[in-house]
Amino acid sequence: MENAEEFADLVEPFRRELLAHCYRMMGTLDEAEDLVQETFLRAWRSYEAFEGRSSLRVWLYKIATNTCLSARERRARRPLPSGLGPPSDDPFQAPEAPGSTVVWLQPIPDAIVTSGGPADPADIVSSREKLRLALTASLQHLAPRQRAVFILREVLDFPAAEVARMLDISVAAVKSLLQRARAGMALAAPEVAAEPTEPQGRALLEQYMTAFENSDLDALERALRKDAALEMVGYTTWFSGLETCLRYIDQVIGPPGTWRMMPTRANGQPAAGAFLRRADGAYDAFGIAVLTVTSDGISRIVLFAEPGLLPRFGLPSSLPSS
What confidence category does residue 127 fall into, taking pLDDT thresholds of 50, 70 and 90? low
* pLDDT (tens digit per residue) in 172-187: 999 999 999 999 998 7
- Give pLDDT, residue 189: 65
The fraction of the chain above a pLDDT of 90, given in percent, is 75
Residues 168 and 205 grouped into a single domain:
no
3-class DSSP state of 265: strand
Residues 312 and 243 grouped into a single domain:
yes
User: Residue 103 to residues 45, 76, 140: CA-CA distances in angstroms?
Assistant: 31, 8, 12
Question: What are φ and ψ of residue 226, in 5° steps?
Answer: -60, -30
Residues 43 and 139 grouped into a single domain:
yes
At a CB cut-off of 8 Å and minimum separation 6, what does 256 contact? Answer: 213, 214, 215, 216
pTM across the whole model: 0.90
3-state SS of 122-176 is HHHHHHHHCCCHHHHHHHCCCCHHHHHHHHHHHHCCCCHHHHHHHHCCCHHHHHH
User: What single-letter DSSP state applies at residue 84?
Assistant: T
Q: How many residues does the chain have?
A: 322
Residues 23 and 136 grouped into a single domain:
yes
- Give pLDDT, residue 78: 83
At a CB cut-off of 8 Å and minimum separation 6, what does 45 contact? Answer: none
| CATH at 270 | 3.10.450.50
Residues 231 and 319 grouped into a single domain:
yes
When divided into structural domains, the chain yields a total of 2
* pLDDT (tens digit per residue) in 301-316: 999 999 999 999 999 9
Residues 19 and 91 grouped into a single domain:
no
**DSSP letters of 30-80?**
HHHHHHHHHHHHHHHHTGGG--SSS-HHHHHHHHHHHHHHHHHTTS-----
**Among 166, 188, 210, where does a domain finish?**
188
- Give pLDDT, residue 65: 98
Residues 62 and 106 grouped into a single domain:
no
| CATH at 143 | 1.20.140.160
Residues 47 and 146 grouped into a single domain:
yes
Distance CA 293, CA 290 (A): 10
Residues 28 and 148 grouped into a single domain:
yes
Residues 228 and 319 grouped into a single domain:
yes
Residues 110 and 204 grouped into a single domain:
yes
**Among 137, 159, 188, where does a domain finish?**
188
**Among 173, 188, 203, where does a domain finish?**
188
Domain, as residue range, for 159: 4-77+126-188
Residues 291 and 202 grouped into a single domain:
yes
Task: Please name which of 189, 212, 195 lies closest in space to residue 293, comparing C-alpha atoms.
Answer: 195
